[in-house]
Structure 1
Amino acid sequence: MNLRILKKEIDLAEWSIKVFNSNLIYSKKPDDKIFNDPSIKAEDVTDVPAEFVADPFLTFYKSRFYLFFEVLNMRSELGEIGLATSEDGEKWTYQKIVLKERYHLSYPHVFEFEDQFYMVPESSEAKEVILYKAKNFPYEWEKYSVIANGKYIDPTIFQYNSKWWMFVGTPNGDLHLFYSEKIEGKWIKHSLSPIIKDNYNISRPAGRVIIDNNKIYRFTQDCKPYYGKQVRSFIINKLTENEYQEEEINIILNGSDKNNDWRRDGMHHIDQLKINGNEWLIAVDGHKFKTHNYLKWKIKSIYRAPVANINRLLNNLNLLREPYLNFGILMLHQLTY
């Protein structure tokens, strides 16, 4: 057995979510005091072992706030869509996983249209952009339409001038724009698409597009020098079937650089729900990198998984071979309790 595996370390981003009341955020950073403690953490997830929670989206229905977000399931190593609820927007209670597939899901863009709820999560692993419709809101969702084909990330849909519009990123730093007369399609690629090429600073969507006082705000992840660094805001000055113009406003979210702070190393998402007047309920996420012992992390990731999976892991690490059999079993026991 290569004993170096016992000392191998891995740096992982631990993402959490904060929800708070504020004015619309588009031109400057919120006060740091707002971010004291996260509203939802991985430890709050009760039905699956969660590595982290991220990508929050808000909605309101029948006097209750709903928060949908990605839960990275340590057991399956796939993203699934979780739900938390609140009566006042301040105290949040985790409910359960409401959507999972055989492939990774994240970025659960939830919105209401004509008294129906829809969700467009990221499903780039399936090489499709899939529109879901609530069968029994908020707990049951069914596939309604495939609205685009391709390895698109963080699809962001909004309605403007009687048309539907959609931004999607790509793994190579492009930003594409589509439009449609109907939400279910046919979706047409904009004549200027990709509107951004090979730019990891401003191409990847970072949350819902906001239209307020006839102004359109786009939010984008800045993925340099590393993924999850900060969020930039843009104002879209021209949007038609043949034209697109925007200009950058500011960096509005980033890490605190404070030791042990839950958002020390960066932020990469914002959603804003208008409550009334100038009052908005806002959900953001942030992360800090934490160093783990690789073996301990890997074993915990399959804790309570089928025995065959555990045996396969130990066998790959040469821990089921004499004279390491008893050592491997003992280590598994100690690391997972």
Structure 2
Amino acid sequence: MKKYIFGILFLGILVALLINSRTPFFQQDGGGWSVGYGMSQVYPKKINPKENRIYSIEKLKAQNDSTVFLADPFFVKEKDTFYLFFEHKKVKANGDVGLLTSVDGKNYQYKGTVLTQKFHLSYPQVFKYKNCFYMVPESKQANAVLLYKAQHFPYDWKICDTLVKNVRLKDPSIYVSDTLNVMMASDDKLNMYVYQADSLFGKWKLHKKPIALMGTEARAGGRFFADKKGLILPIQNCTNGYGYGLSLYRFYFKNGSYTTKRIAPFFLKANKEIKEFDAGMHQLDVQKLDANHYYYVYDGNRLNSNTKRINIFGPLKWNYIDLKNWILN
């Protein structure tokens, strides 16, 4: 009987050590977020934040002293100006959408708030479609995925459609074209869903293969990037707590179905050499500007302190879902 009990205890310790090695029970306490950005002549197969510029939370606080953090950057380049939209969280307020602009892609100026609602907003994916500018932010608290249109870009955003009703989804990432219209969005149970439509203003419905990813990498972390092989989507990794890292996944759609492949594990992650990003990184937007230039923006957060908080339920839940996903797929 004692050997049996000892064996169970020993096995339990091994399982706990294995779980802790993947998703630590003691996790970092992340704080203020900042934005980094850079440019390259080829699609960035690797990004070194040490070589790029940073628009820090301190810089924004100097212009708006109620700032708590800036995160979730998406950019649009229109004519000679870079427009960088971001989640702007202020003291005792919901998140809204803020704007930075630059004429050289290096020096950004804060232009204030461009969209605020009675509910929390984040993840402001702005894109140009048929000569008009649209935004699909995270609007989970509104119980819908909402589409906004700029009446006078980059300001005056109004709701023009509801893409998905009666659902609470995080970080919707949309891709629209003449041949493919898809959107990824995640729930609170670590499932990433695939929606499709005939057009941006068509009826968005779940794909016949509705769940693309589950577990610790199942939440979008940026815009789709299209190349000759298909689509690349940044996916958040939460193995060491929310916002720790980011991997790249290849999505390939063909004949009404699709496949996924993890092509760049931890493309971005906590960087101990950069104080603004020493807790984690979780957002990336890469776009091709012209034949010879790619521009990208990303975010990251810093450690509040060297202390860690204990989280028992999270690692157990994440590993259970990861294991189930691995067995079923």
Deviating 4+ runs (over 4 angstroms): 23-26
Counterpart for residue 92 of structure 2? 75
8 Å Cα contact 1:80-1:105 kept in structure 2:
yes
Counterpart for residue 164 of structure 1? 181
State the Cα distance separating 1:75 from its structure 2 match: 2.8
Give the TM-score normalised by the residue count of structure 1.
0.77
Q: What letter matches 1:97 in structure 2?
A: T
Question: Cα deviation per residue 1:104-158 (whole Å; 9 max; x = unaligned)?
Answer: 1000000001100000000111111000000110011000111012110000010
The 5 Å alignment of 1:1-337 reads: 11-23=29-41, 25=43, 28-35=45-52, 37-41=53-57, 43-44=59-60, 46-47=63-64, 49-76=66-93, 78-149=94-165, 150-160=167-177, 162-197=179-214, 199-200=215-216, 202-241=217-256, 243-250=257-264, 251-258=266-273, 261-291=275-305
Unaligned regions of 5+ residues in structure 2, if any? 1-27, 307-329
8 Å Cα contact 1:99-1:140 kept in structure 2:
yes
Question: Cα deviation per residue 1:226-264 (whole Å; 9 max; x = unaligned)?
Answer: 0001110011233453x1201111121011123x61101
CA spacing shift, 1:118–1:47, aligned 2, 3 Å: same
CA spacing shift, 1:62–1:32, aligned 2, 3 Å: closer
SS of match in other structure, 2:106: coil
Give the TM-score normalised by the residue count of structure 2.
0.79
Aligned pairs, how many? Answer: 276
SS of match in other structure, 2:168: coil
Alpha-carbon distance in 2 for matches of 1:160, 1:239: 15
Q: What letter matches 1:238 in structure 2?
A: F
State the Cα distance separating 1:87 from its structure 2 match: 0.3
State the Cα distance separating 1:49 from its structure 2 match: 1.1
CA spacing shift, 1:23–1:252, aligned 2, 3 Å: farther
CA spacing shift, 1:48–1:212, aligned 2, 3 Å: farther
Unaligned regions of 5+ residues in structure 1, if any? 1-9, 293-337
Counterpart for residue 4 of structure 1? none
State the Cα distance separating 1:24 from its structure 2 match: 5.2
State the Cα distance separating 1:25 from its structure 2 match: 5.0
State the Cα distance separating 1:174 from its structure 2 match: 0.3
SS of match in other structure, 1:195: strand
State the Cα distance separating 1:62 from its structure 2 match: 2.7
Structure holding more strand per residue: 2
Q: Percent identity?
A: 29
